[in-house]
Structure 1
Amino acid sequence: MIRRRVVVSGAVQGVFFRDTCRRTADARDVAGWVRNLPDGTVEAVFEGEPERVRELVEWAHQGPATALVDAVSVTEEAPEGLRGFEIRPTPGGF
């Protein structure tokens, strides 16, 4: 199991990025979460089998068809044993 945190910048909010990310993760049996950040980026955590997590990180570089991704920051983290994939609220309640 591996875990990666990604922060995606560009035109990535208001384009169904989070819902598409959740559906893509569910289809690949990857656990984690995704949320919008107040600065206009999207943050996600992917946990699971290495190849499947790599697929999600690769997907984040493009996102859904309506997104325009400018950059993706990827950070390796220790797995926490997450189960399922959820859309989390934006910090600060936005």
Structure 2
Amino acid sequence: MARRIRIAGQVQGVGYRDWLVGVARAHGLAGWVRNRRDGTVEALLAGDTPGIQAVLLACRRGPPLARVESIEETLAEDPAEPGFARLPTL
């Protein structure tokens, strides 16, 4: 199971990507996270349903300095690489 999400709000410059790497790894997920030039954060989350649901719930709150306004979620293909990584800005 994999989901691609796009998080909007005050999510850049607040440690969101590093925070999400830690949360995703703690739940055993594979995938990646990156900033987008439009000010959103995009991530690919792959793993078991309970792990993805837990991370999605955490993403709605984000790290302490973040202010999440919305999350768009779509089905996705599993990542080609194992583990969870922080990618460069797209």
Q: Which TM bucket (shorter chain)? A: over 0.9
Q: Which consecutive residues of structure 1, in runs of 5 or more, have no partner in the other structure?
A: none
Q: What is the CA–CA distance in structure 2 between the aligned matches of 1:83 and 1:65, rounded to whole Å?
A: 28
Q: Once the 2 structures are TM-superposed, how far is the Cα of residue 81 of structure 1 from its aligned partner? A: 5.3
Alignment root-mean-square deviation, CA: 1.1
Percentage of matched positions with identical amino acids:
37
Give the direction of change, closer, same or farther, for the CA distance of 1:54–1:82 in structure 2 (3 Å limit). farther
Structure 1 partner of 2:20:
21
Name structure 2 gaps, 5 residues minimum.
Answer: none
Distance in 2 separating the partners of 1:35 and 1:20: 12
Offset of 1:54 from its aligned partner? 1.0
Cα deviation digits, residues 13-37 of structure 1 (max 9, x gap) = 0000000000011111111000000
Equivalence for 2:58: 59
Structure 1 runs (4+) greater than 3 angstroms displaced: none
Which digits, 9 at most, give the CA deviation of each residue in 1:42-71, with x for residues without a partner? 000000011101111111111111100000
Query: TM-score, normalised on structure 1?
Result: 0.90
